[in-house]
Amino acid sequence: MAKLKEYYGKTLLEIEGGKIKEYYGKTLYEIDGDKVKEYYGKNIFEIDGDKIKEYCGKTLLEFDGEKLKRYCGPTIYEVDGNKIKEYCGKNLYEVEGFLSRREWMALLAILFAS
């Protein structure tokens, strides 16, 4: 079961009051009814069956088993066991356990550059 331990250098995960708790048995988002209420303080995601339908008003994410297939059009990452395998086509970080400082700096540099 994949659990995100860190995200942008924070332990998973409170982002501006929005707690990421559970989604499909993984420690991800706090779900209120069929909506993930907060992400960076905004109402963003809605759940419809096994699809995440909206992100800032666009249909972006779909679940295929345990894989997050789409994010802003391109395939960005997959949850495969304990690893998030791709982000913008790059193998960036593992979910279980903590990254080294050097790995986090590289990850943040890539994220902020895009």
Percent of the chain exceeding pLDDT 70 equals 0
Per DSSP, the three-state class of 24 is coil
Answer positive or negative: Cα dihedral of 60, 7, 101, 85: negative
Percent of the chain exceeding pLDDT 90 equals 0
pLDDT value of position 20: 43
Cα 53 to the chain's mean position, in Å?
A: 14
Q: 45 or 72: which carries more pLDDT confidence? A: 45
pLDDT value of position 111: 64
Q: Which two tokens stand for residue 55?
A: 């992100």
pLDDT value of position 68: 41
pLDDT value of position 109: 63
State mean pLDDT over 45-49: 39
pLDDT value of position 52: 41
pLDDT value of position 107: 62
